[in-house]
């Protein structure tokens, strides 16, 4: 029997922990994993005994993004007409669903956190990272802008623009300095640090936690974040119509996804083509 793609445990009172469990695929987000994740998020959000939810990944990294080689890519949130741009709109709907949950959600990020993995982390309310994590959005190099364009909202115009124009990654330390993450910790201390903050959150009554979380999101929405990200999802759909993107996507079939990704990053000397990469 295959291992479950998502592990669920309660490491402390009132704390539910969801662990992405596709280490052989660097926890790439396929239909099964996304479906299981949202099923358990919804279940925890309805549970009056749960005051904080932690999302982390098993193995070498948090998540390398959407599983481009899995095929399928069906909607998870609800049935949606598969017209132009449906993919980006429906995954953004998923991420906004996490924002709208009453229960605070914490991302625990180590290793690679790329593309769709960064969107998952962004959808969480708090983000704690390993100092040596690598966080970036390489698809901007040959495919499209992000589905959920968090870069300028979280990093500011200059750092966000640099991230979008290069696809370069930032370390966990840089992510905390620039506003993507709350704090960076040594990798071997990350589990304990995240559990400690989750336990502190759980000391606050759940009804007040829900209001406190909502007040923060409402403030951001007053500044236009929800509308801005939805506009970005529509722009993302345009990326797939550009000649460079169409040519790149053809190479998935002719070369295979792994080789196509390596070709993308070779001239930059990072990600798969980094000298430090395994």
Q: Does some domain include residue 188? A: yes
- pLDDT per residue as tens, the chain (278 positions): 679 999 999 999 999 999 999 999 999 999 999 999 999 999 999 999 999 999 999 999 999 999 987 655 555 655 567 788 888 888 999 999 999 999 999 999 999 999 999 999 999 999 999 999 999 999 999 999 999 999 999 999 999 999 999 999 999 999 999 999 999 999 999 999 999 999 999 999 999 999 999 999 999 999 999 999 999 999 999 999 999 999 999 998 899 988 999 999 999 999 988 854 43
Whether residue 156 lies inside any domain: the answer is yes
Give how many domains the chain has, as a whole number.
Answer: 1
CA distance 105 to 16: 10
Q: Which residue has the tokens 């017209």?
A: 83
- 19 Ramachandran zone, left/alpha/beta (phi>0; psi -120 to 50): beta
Residue 278 maps to a domain = no
Model-wide pTM > 0.85 = yes
Return the bridge partners of 52, or none: 15
**Would you say residue 1 lies in a domain?**
no
What separation in angstroms does the CA of 130 have from each of 111, 127, 172, 187? 7, 10, 6, 5
- Give 134's strand partners: 112, 171
Consecutive H or E run containing 229: helix 225-239
Residue 79 located in a structural domain? yes
Decide: 202 and 52 in contact? Cβ < 8 Å.
Answer: yes
pLDDT of residue 5: 97
**CATH code at position 221:** 3.90.226.10
What pLDDT is attached to residue 77?
Answer: 56
- In the chain, DSSP assigns E strands to 6-12, 15-20, 52-57, 105-109, 112-114, 126-130, 134-136, 170-171, 183-185
Residue 168 lies in a domain: yes
Contacts of 121 (CB under 8 A, 6+ apart): 62, 107, 109, 113, 127, 135, 180
Domain encompassing residue 23: 6-273
Q: Is there a domain that residue 18 lies in?
A: yes
């Amino acid at each position: 029997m295959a291992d479950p793609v998502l592990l669920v445990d309660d490491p402390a009172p009132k704390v539910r922990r969801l662990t992405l469990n596709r280490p052989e695929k660097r926890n790439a987000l396929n239909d099964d994993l996304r479906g299981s994740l949202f099923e358990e998020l919804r279940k925890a959000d309805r549970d009056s005994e749960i005051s904080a939810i932690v999302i982390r990944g098993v193995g070498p990294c948090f998540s390398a993004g959407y599983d481009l080689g899995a095929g399928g890519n069906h909607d998870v949130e609800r049935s949606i007409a598969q017209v132009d741009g449906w993919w980006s709109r429906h995954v953004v709907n998923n991420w906004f669903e996490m924002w709208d949950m009453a229960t605070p959600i914490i991302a625990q990020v180590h290793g690679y956190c790329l593309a769709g993995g960064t969107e998952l982390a962004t959808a969480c309310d708090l983000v704690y990272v390993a100092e040596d994590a690598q966080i970036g959005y390489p698809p901007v190099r040959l495919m499209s802008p992000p589905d959920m364009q968090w870069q300028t909202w979280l990093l500011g115009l200059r750092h966000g623009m640099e991230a979008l124009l290069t696809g370069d990654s930032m370390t966990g330390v840089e992510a905390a300095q620039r506003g993507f993450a709350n704090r960076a910790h040594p990798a071997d201390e990350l589990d304990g640090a995240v559990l400690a903050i989750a336990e502190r959150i759980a000391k606050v009554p759940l009804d007040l936690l829900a209001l406190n979380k909502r007040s923060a999101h409402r403030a951001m929405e007053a500044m236009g974040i929800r509308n801005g990200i939805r506009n970005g999802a529509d722009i993302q759909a345009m990326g797939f119509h550009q000649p460079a993107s169409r040519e790149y996507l053809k190479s998935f079939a002719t070369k295979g996804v792994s080789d196509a990704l390596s070709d993308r990053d070779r001239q930059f000397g990072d990600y798969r083509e980094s000298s430090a990469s395994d």
